Amino acid sequence: MKSFWNQTSLAFLFLLTHCLFSASIRAEDVVQKSGEAKEQVSAPVDFKSIAEKNREAIVSVAFLGREGEELGMGTGFVVDHTGLIATNRHVIGEARPIRVTFLDGQQYTVESIYASDETSDLALLKLNSEELANRKIVALKLGNRAEQGDDVAAIGHPRGYKNSLVTGIVSGTQEINGIDLIQVSMPIDHGNSGGPLLNRAGEVVGIITYKSAETVNVGFAMPVEGLKSILESPNPITLSRWTTIGRLNSEKWQELFGATWSQRAGQILVSGSGKGFGGRSLCLWHEAPLDNQKFELQVSVKLNDEAGAAGLVFQADRQDRHYGFYPSAGNLRLSRFDGADVFSWHVLQEISSPAYKPGDWNRLKVSIDQSNIRCYCNDELVIDLEEHPVGKKSNAVGLAKFRDTKASFRGFELAEELSNSQLTEDIQNQLDLLVEELKTEELISQQSIQKLQTFPLESRDYLNQMAADLEQRAAEIRRLNRRVHDSIIRLQIEEELKRKQPRIAQLALLLARYDNPELDVETYLIQIDELADEIKNMSVDQKLNEVEFREVMDRYLFEENGFHGSRTNYYHKSNSYLNEVIDDREGLPISLSVLYLALAEKLELDIRGIGLPGHFIVRQYVNDEPDMMVDVFDRGRILGLVDVMTRVELQSNTAWNDAYLEPQSSRDILIRMIRNLQGIAERQESVEDLLRYLNLLVAIDPSNQIEHRYIRSLVAIRQRERSLAEEDLIWLEDHGRPVLNDRQLNELTRFAEQWLGLKDLKKTSQEQNSQ
């Protein structure tokens, strides 16, 4: 009750001041380590001397292709004498071998990824200690936070120029992706990424991360505190395991001609240049059409840059011959490739079509029969060409990219006949009626201009206002579209909760899709099955009891695959989404525990979630009796009762209660995950997201309806959502007592009248009750 009234009073403050709640976030607590005191340093020297002294600590870091070719290169630096190399996470790529080269050209084997953090874009590489035995190691010293106006220097390998030195100053900080980065005024270029940012004492104060895409001589660096954090809490992953992260399933896809193909959030991603002419790279589906003379395939593609080219390939011989249908420089192109060079490339047809939506997802479909190739873009026929297929030996299909394109694919399908995604005429007519006021004939015509010439000059102001009204209406339609999506996912969550044993992985992935409509839930459910199968294979032919089997799972997750608690940006939304926890191998206590519970369910282990105040753990049950408690956030550390009681009492300032060890239901766990996201929305002052999470809580948390509806009514009033506010106010009038007294309800009603003009709510409530 006390917690509720703290929130409601803050809600009133939010309403009166026209801003969001300032309530404390409800996410799990994390102990904040005190900052280190700045050490006394010797008198500063010039950067040229610093660079000369430390040049042997600077290395180049490259990730390699399947045949050992270099696909990407950046900078790294030695941070201790055992052979730890710091660099950016993006420098080491995904699922690729890594090569580290010192100034003298000597190359060393990367033994493991000692630590990595997707959010802060940092990684630590562990070199083979035996190979380093005869090498004198020079390591850089880590300093403290850089201040605005400090002189700094960067050493790196921009565009392959070894150990280049640039100098500048710290001009400020800039928040990018939820991280406060150091903004530096100096020329930063490709290849500098991962290199050290040094102060005049020669200490590392940051790691170069980005160059500005808009302003010359401006770059950004991750503060050194992030590097210190992953050094203190490593999550080692052997290189053999690292090369499986994000990799496409080789049993389903065959990659040709290089480039980097990976998967994330149910999408296939490609970047880098292929080694085929024009940067061509293919990714072919393992199955060929059953009937090579008649079939259809389709995919949705989104280009990072419209100057690029990526799409479908078909009639491929798994070497150099194939057809391709793809957007290229804003046009749609059908090509035939008869060999490995430009002279065997034939553009069969290229058109500009209004069906193509630049910068957005576009659905490409190809329909093949014995004599024709028909190409569709967003269900509109754009190319119909009489072209004879090239024979049974050339029957592979799949994806392609060209040049230095970055692209995303989703929804790849192959069948004898694919369904059309177009809306029925009846549904389109209904949608047209909903937005009829926005539909109009061509406005910018000569006839319209001539007519408006006779109007007074003040008519321009009227037209501007009309445009503003239409823009507002368009924004409302987009919000409506999002709310429809929310409602569909909410119904799916409610259906799952009706099951006798709701599946926690399904619920957590639906919650992630609630915020990320493009997420493919089924892909991640399959991935969890694959993880469980790998754990089973580790213990095959071994007679293990339940505790020993859980220990195998722990070893797989924490020692071999490096799953760990988030260290650098605890409250980042990504840590609450199960799909991103799987992708990045880090998360919150509750999201990591959800993965643990999902795997335990697949492995038939009795593991249950324990929702401590401010922290979430799991507990194994043996023969239906409670046994070991496991802190998944702390890489599977086994907890005793004293550990748990001390944590609760010290970190949460809460007296111990044995009820804290009661297992939580799937519904309880999901509600706690939603409350975490609700708290993040409050901290970020995102009113729209806050309202969306409250809608979900009202639907699935019957035990706290007064709290949820009270806060939602205030937010709905603030957002001027009349029908939602009216619904909650009437409900509270009927069900809010005795938690809410007459004064509070009257004050809430007065706010509704003042902001929305809602009146006679008590009368409306009485009429509804009498019906």
Structural domain contains residue 31: no
Model confidence band, residue 40 (pLDDT cutoffs 50, 70, 90): very low
Do 118 and 226 lie in one domain? The reply is yes
Q: How much is the pLDDT for 37?
A: 36
Chain segment 530-583, per-residue pLDDT in tens = 999 999 998 887 889 999 999 999 999 998 888 999 877 788 888 999 999 998
Are 405 and 304 in contact, with CB atoms under 8 Å apart? yes
User: Which stretches does DSSP call E strand in 144-203?
Assistant: 151-156, 164-176, 179-185, 196-198
Model confidence band, residue 165 (pLDDT cutoffs 50, 70, 90): confident
Q: Is the pTM of this model over 0.85?
A: no
Structural domain contains residue 604: yes
Q: How much is the pLDDT for 17?
A: 35
Q: How much is the pLDDT for 67?
A: 53
Q: Is the pLDDT of residue 41 over 60?
A: no
Model confidence band, residue 14 (pLDDT cutoffs 50, 70, 90): very low
Do 161 and 73 lie in one domain? The reply is yes
Q: Is the pLDDT of residue 5 over 50?
A: no
Model confidence band, residue 109 (pLDDT cutoffs 50, 70, 90): confident
Q: What's the total number of domains in the chain?
A: 5
- Distance between start and end Cα atoms, the chain: 33
Structural domain contains residue 270: yes
Q: How much is the pLDDT for 744?
A: 87
Among the candidates 239, 270, 305, a domain finishes at 239
Q: How much is the pLDDT for 403?
A: 86
Are 299 and 285 in contact, with CB atoms under 8 Å apart? no
User: How is the chain split among helix, strand and coil, in percent rounded to 5?
Assistant: 35, 30, 35
Between 641 and 159, name the one with better pLDDT.
Answer: 641
Structural domain contains residue 5: no
Q: How much is the pLDDT for 449?
A: 63
Do 592 and 622 lie in one domain? The reply is yes
Structural domain contains residue 247: no
Between 354 and 479, name the one with better pLDDT.
Answer: 354
What mean pLDDT is predicted for residues 150-161?
77
Q: How much is the pLDDT for 446?
A: 63
Chain segment 651-677, per-residue pLDDT in tens = 888 889 999 999 999 999 999 999 999
Instruction: Please tell me the number of Cα atoms within 13 Å of 199 on its side-chain side.
Output: 23
Structural domain contains residue 81: yes
Q: Is the pLDDT of residue 31 over 60?
A: no
Q: How much is the pLDDT for 388?
A: 67
Q: What is the rounded average pLDDT for all residues in the chain?
A: 84
Chain segment 500-517, per-residue pLDDT in tens = 999 999 999 999 999 999
Q: Is the pLDDT of residue 521 over 80?
A: yes
Chain segment 55-102, per-residue pLDDT in tens = 889 999 987 765 556 667 889 999 998 889 999 988 887 657 788 999
DSSP code of 560?
I
What mean pLDDT is predicted for residues 165-179?
86
CA 420 to chain centre: 30
Between 136 and 610, name the one with better pLDDT.
Answer: 610
Do 448 and 567 lie in one domain? The reply is no
Do 548 and 466 lie in one domain? The reply is no
Do 348 and 450 lie in one domain? The reply is no
Q: How much is the pLDDT for 267?
A: 87
Model confidence band, residue 32 (pLDDT cutoffs 50, 70, 90): very low
Do 293 and 305 lie in one domain? The reply is yes
Q: How much is the pLDDT for 432?
A: 63
User: Which residues, in sequence order, are bridge partners of residue 239?
Assistant: none
Q: Is the peptide bond before 738 cis (omega within 30 degrees of 0)?
A: yes
CATH number at residue 233: 2.40.10.120
List, in order, residues 6 or more apart from 724 with CB less than 8 Å away.
Answer: 712, 713, 716
Q: Is the pLDDT of residue 103 over 60?
A: yes
Do 610 and 477 lie in one domain? The reply is no
Structural domain contains residue 4: no
Q: Is the pLDDT of residue 15 over 50?
A: no
Do 505 and 650 lie in one domain? The reply is yes
CATH number at residue 402: 2.60.120.560
Do 449 and 504 lie in one domain? The reply is no
Q: How much is the pLDDT for 274?
A: 84
Q: Is the pLDDT of residue 767 over 60?
A: no
Among the candidates 611, 642, 665, a domain finishes at 665
Longest CA–CA separation in the chain, Å: 92
Do 298 and 317 lie in one domain? The reply is yes
User: Which range has highest mean pLDDT (84-98, 363-377, 416-430, 661-675)?
Assistant: 661-675
> What are the b/e assignments for 592-612, b being 16+ CB within 10 Å?
bbbbbbbbbbebebbbbbbbb
CATH number at residue 655: 3.10.620
Letter for the amino acid at 8?
T
- Nearest to 672, CA basis, from 746, 613, 713: 613
Model confidence band, residue 3 (pLDDT cutoffs 50, 70, 90): very low
Model confidence band, residue 231 (pLDDT cutoffs 50, 70, 90): very high
Structural domain contains residue 244: no
Q: How much is the pLDDT for 175?
A: 84
Are 658 and 613 in contact, with CB atoms under 8 Å apart? no
Model confidence band, residue 438 (pLDDT cutoffs 50, 70, 90): very low
Do 600 and 733 lie in one domain? The reply is no
The CA distance from 762 to 752, in Å, is: 13
Q: Is the pLDDT of residue 294 over 80?
A: yes
Q: Is the pLDDT of residue 444 over 60?
A: no
- Domain span at residue 464 reads 426-492
Q: How much is the pLDDT for 422?
A: 58
Among the candidates 610, 642, 665, a domain finishes at 665
List, in order, residues 6 or more apart from 484 with CB less than 8 Å away.
Answer: none
